[in-house]
A = this chain, B = another copy of it.
Amino acid sequence: MALAARTHPQAELVFAEQCFSEQGHFAGSDTQRTDSFVSLANDPDIDAIWFARGGYGAARIAEAAVQRLNDVAHRKIYLGYSDAGNLLGALYRAGIGQVAHGPMPSDIGRTGGEEAVVRSLDWIVHRLAHTLEPGLVSGQKYAAFNLMTLAMMTGTKLIPDLHGHILIIEEISEYLYAFDRAMFHLCSNLAGQGLAGIRLGGVDDIPETTGHLAKVRKLLSNDGPERMQSPIWDGQKSAIMRKTGLCRSDCCLSEISIAEAAVFLD
């Protein structure tokens, strides 16, 4: 908040009380979290909802929350990633507000986090173009999600219509075999739904399963010049899987066979 006051004095950040609640591994009960989101989204004095962190359990409340939004909520900005993607997806599906996938306040603690958070504020407050993923083409629709979040949205009432979109997939802290399995799931479920393409964003903090992965990680971290830049995880964004068979910028989904989507080094 001190950082925001320094870099974006024209913006006032209000943290919802509920952010500090705890119930099990969630930040409050389903009712608390739904009510908190709905009341802020429907509040005419607030211009943007910036999700504080990933949001365990966002899937549980998204459908009900979106149904309670009013006209004020429709004119708002919503920004976050990870499990908050469930809310962002449900909002986008319902055509509500301007939704974006990008750094959250909780990112401030990581390496490069301050820069990431400032970039989010630059986008929320000034809508500065440099904050966006480079290489986006005007007129082309894009959607960005964490892989596991989106994989778990397939077949639910939360997933938006991604027809004509280039889908940017990112992930953090997932095993590569789980990433591979989720890509199989996602490609199977999105095949034939008119996606314009799939593009790999940041993939980082991969837990190791075997010695091989150290090798993969080393190669990935050497990919500096080729790595994509994005408003997401920029500080951690050492990994682009060009060596893995998955990273083919803007490739068409129908071109991705399961074999090509293999997430390992051959």
Within 8 A of B (CB), among A80-114: 83
Within 8 A of B (CB), among A179-221: 180-182, 184-185, 188-189, 209-210, 212-213, 216
Q: Please, how many angstroms separate the alpha-carbon atoms of A94 and B134 in the complex?
A: 46
Within 8 A of B (CB), among A154-188: 154-157, 175-178, 180-182, 184-185, 188
Q: Nearest-CB distance from A10 to chain B (Å)?
A: 35
The answer to whether the Cβ of A30 comes within 8 Å of any Cβ in the partner chain is yes
Q: Please indicate the chain B residues that have their CB under 8 angstroms from the CB of A263 in the complex.
A: 24
The answer to whether the Cβ of A117 comes within 8 Å of any Cβ in the partner chain is no
| Pair B152/A181 contact, Cβ less than 8 Å | yes
Known interface pairs A154-B155, A157-B188; A264-B23 also in contact (CB < 8 Å): yes
Q: Please indicate the chain B residues that have their CB under 8 angstroms from the CB of A57 in the complex.
A: 177, 180-181, 262
- Residue with the highest number of chain B CB atoms closer than 10 Å, among A148, A149, A209: A148
Q: Please indicate the chain B residues that have their CB under 8 angstroms from the CB of A152 in the complex.
A: 151, 181-182, 184-185
Within 8 A of B (CB), among A17-45: 22-26, 29-30
Q: Please indicate the chain B residues that have their CB under 8 angstroms from the CB of A180 in the complex.
A: 25, 56-57, 60
How many chain-A residues does the 8 Å CB contact rule pick out?
44
The answer to whether the Cβ of A52 comes within 8 Å of any Cβ in the partner chain is no
The answer to whether the Cβ of A14 comes within 8 Å of any Cβ in the partner chain is no
Q: Please, how many angstroms separate the alpha-carbon atoms of A209 and B53 in the complex?
A: 14
The answer to whether the Cβ of A13 comes within 8 Å of any Cβ in the partner chain is no
Contact among B25, B210, B213 with A213 in the assembled complex (CB-CB below 8 Å): B25
Q: Please indicate the chain B residues that have their CB under 8 angstroms from the CB of A256 in the complex.
A: none
| Pair A185/B264 contact, Cβ less than 8 Å | no
Q: Please indicate the chain B residues that have their CB under 8 angstroms from the CB of A258 in the complex.
A: 30, 59-60
| Pair A262/B24 contact, Cβ less than 8 Å | yes
Q: Please, how many angstroms separate the alpha-carbon atoms of A152 and B152 in the complex?
A: 8
Q: Please, how many angstroms separate the alpha-carbon atoms of A145 and B22 in the complex?
A: 31
| Pair B156/A188 contact, Cβ less than 8 Å | yes
Q: Please, how many angstroms separate the alpha-carbon atoms of A266 and B83 in the complex?
A: 21
Q: Please indicate the chain B residues that have their CB under 8 angstroms from the CB of A83 in the complex.
A: 177, 181
The answer to whether the Cβ of A153 comes within 8 Å of any Cβ in the partner chain is yes
Q: Please, how many angstroms separate the alpha-carbon atoms of A265 and B155 in the complex?
A: 27
| Pair B24/A264 contact, Cβ less than 8 Å | yes
| Pair B60/A212 contact, Cβ less than 8 Å | no
